[in-house]
Structure 1
């Protein structure tokens, strides 16, 4: 069995469904807990709470579709849920992916303004501004993702296939759309994020008056976002477009390029990694709300209860047998 066959038979039909199932279970619990914490500390968090709430909503749009995708790949790419639901499932994935990128970018910009321009800008920003920006993000993401719905997802000769891009007949047009989509939905937010945190890093290194805790929290958030983009988003966009380009070459030359096998395998792996954003996104909740400190307090509270209960148990006196 060569590498491509192994990825089709083992990774795509066994490992990928297992990843989807795990992400559904862990992501559901983590995001419920995260959103609950956001709502409990709504006033404390300030204007950034609106973006955290929308980040959670983006995750909940995608997580319910994972069991259906897991069943699809486990049944060796046999879609039994209908063509309309196939498009809805893929649309929800795109809303989650680009909505998450959009709101993570908003959080990064707000953090940047809070550190670099705390008096000039942050004092003028209200909750209304955050809500308006969130509405704009959803509109932009919807406009970017909606054309995907018009591309065929079900192959004419194989009605059980549910493409995450489109069928071979329309792959050339889809590649053009995908490249533009990648630039507007991923590259531009990535450049904004890099610009913000590049400047923040310079400010934190030059100014000694900034509180040490603020520096640490800013650097931690930067690390989390770099992790998200490096693991989930960058590989997916690179290998998705390369895979589409390989299919375009095959449709014109009737022959795949020599690098197709490597790209195919990398693209399969990136499809598993990209869905992990629904599990990694709650790390942003953990950072912003300093939940690790809350967990330590909770564990300490439970330990005190346990000790008090244990010490209150009467000690049995020794008895002669």
Structure 2
């Protein structure tokens, strides 16, 4: 029979007493060398960029448009996570020794999840908002207000919190002996956590990603087939699409793929199955975690492009719609829904 003896998170040493078969242990030195410099870089760039972006938004607080409210919440999610990075730097600099207690370990991991899935949620809101503003400007004219955007933002925070809350009930530390602060959980609960993680990935990432892809896919098709929109407007409208694809491709897709693969390899190792790819998956998982936190430094790009080119494109669509219904809208002037 196989016996699995855990040493640290994801590290299992499986031995067949009959055949003396030994599974090679997973190397954890990589994360201690790789993660701290990345966290330092993200902390500095993210704090400066998000601070500048939030200051710009709050400077014209009374003139905040709908899309700006979503961007504001995106920035708050980033700041919330960035403030926990110094503690994680200390953790990895000390060789994965957590000295801040079990409660704060869970809070730190919870803040990471709020940032990750809050960012995905608000980027999805921005995508839907731009879709409505560009493709259906007349249909939603005057129906979307800042009050609606505030209510939607609160709903996003609540949804993300509900999705992330079960994570806090899993074991995050391994007692005073090792002082670990797991980003998932220990080997005892790894099977249950993998099921939870798969469901979380579906609801927190896959569905918002498909919504975002659908919105910008439709926008791209409409803009490139509309003869009245010039190339400058088309290119400007597709800038944010490129940024969002970059964010999802670099920060979010690898994170979810390798997180679940790493959990699966841990389950197999616990059951006594040797996987030659376990060590490579673990290293890829650590790299993907650093890429996920990189979203806090890349999200400020949204500040620069979220509002760009909307007025011109909106006016183009508005003129087309008004020309077909002059009798209804002749005394109305289109107002911005953003």
TM-score bracket for the superposition, by shorter chain length: 0.7 to 0.9
Structure 2: how far apart are the matches of 1:43 and 1:119? Answer: 25
Q: Structure 1 residues 213 and 118, CA, compared in 2 at 3 Å: closer, same or farther?
A: farther
The 5-angstrom pairing of residues 23-172 of structure 1 reads: 23-42=42-61, 46-156=65-175, 158-172=177-191
Structure 2: how far apart are the matches of 1:271 and 1:211? Answer: 40
Q: C-alpha deviations, 1:235-283, integer Å up to 9, x for none?
A: 000000000011111112x233222122112111101111000000000
Structure 2: how far apart are the matches of 1:32 and 1:157? Answer: 37
Please say if 1:274 is aligned against 2:292: yes
C-alpha displacement of 1:143: 0.2
1:306 corresponds in structure 2 to: none
8 Å contact from structure 1 (residues 242, 263) kept in 2: yes
Q: Structure 1 or 2: larger helix share?
A: 1
Structure 2: how far apart are the matches of 1:80 and 1:25? Answer: 23
Q: Structure 1 residues 184 and 6, CA, compared in 2 at 3 Å: closer, same or farther?
A: closer
Structure 2: how far apart are the matches of 1:127 and 1:7? Answer: 51
The number of residues matched between the two structures is 285
1:203 corresponds in structure 2 to: 222
Please say if 1:8 is aligned against 2:8: no
Look up the SS of the partner of 2:96 in the other structure. coil
1:258 equivalent among 276, 279, 283: 276
Q: Structure 1 residues 212 and 122, CA, compared in 2 at 3 Å: closer, same or farther?
A: farther
Normalised TM-score (structure 1)? 0.85
2:262 corresponds in structure 1 to: 243
1:287 equivalent among 285, 305, 310: 305
Structure 2: how far apart are the matches of 1:211 and 1:48? Answer: 24
Normalised TM-score (structure 2)? 0.81
Gapped runs of 5+ residues in structure 1? 291-321
Please say if 1:218 is aligned against 2:237: yes
Please say if 1:229 is aligned against 2:229: no
8 Å contact from structure 2 (residues 26, 279) kept in 1: no
